[in-house]
Amino acid sequence: MFNHLLMQKSTLPISGCRRFLYYHLPMILFGGAIIAVSSVPDLHTPQVKDIAFDKVAHLIEYAIFAFLTFRSFSNWPWMARGSRACIFAALFLTAFASFDEFYQHLIPGRFASVYDVLADLCGALLVLAFFEARRRRMANS
């Protein structure tokens, strides 16, 4: 009976507030941090020989953001886990990256770059492709 109670407790859904704090707030805070950094006038990235540090930073930044976004979207009660979460995350991240670059254009000393958006999307799509491949592999098992 004790094992049965433990099983029941572990399968109970997370409450709405805890779900928000655990799954959705990290994505919102990370998106806010991206906009906050974009708001810094005359921000210069370090120059590293033979490496486009700026583009690598964009790729890593959006890979992390894609992980958090997929995690959030796949835990919405109305959204089925899997392909739908990947598609919505990809659309959201594309819009967010585009908005971010447009917003930077409005900040003194900053400029918008299509290459930054492409680097953002490369990082995001790599992570989302991994999750989709993992989902398909698990579905076929």
In this predicted structure, what is the pLDDT of residue 51?
A: 66
The answer as to whether 103 is a domain residue is yes
Distance CA(109)–CA(22), nearest Å, equals: 36
Tell whether 4 is covered by a domain: no
Domain count, the chain: 1
| pLDDT at residue 44, as a whole number | 72
**Which of 17-21, 46-50, 105-109 is least confident?**
46-50
Residue 1 is assigned to a structural domain of this protein: no
**Which residues is 51 bridged to in the sheet?**
48
Q: Single out the residue of 28, 30, 139 nearest to residue 80, CA to CA.
A: 139
**Residue 123: its pLDDT value, please?**
97
Question: For residue 83, what pLDDT is reported?
Answer: 79
> Residue 3: what pLDDT?
40
45 or 108, which is more confident? 108
Structural domain contains residue 5 = no
7 assigned to some structural domain: no
Range of weakest confidence among 32-46, 54-68, 72-86: 72-86
- Show the domain range for 108: 12-140
Non-local CB neighbours of 46 within 8 Å, separated by 6+ positions: 53
AA identity, residue 56:
V
pLDDT (average), residues 51-74: 92
Identify the band that residue 2 occupies on the pLDDT scale cut at 50, 70 and 90.
very low
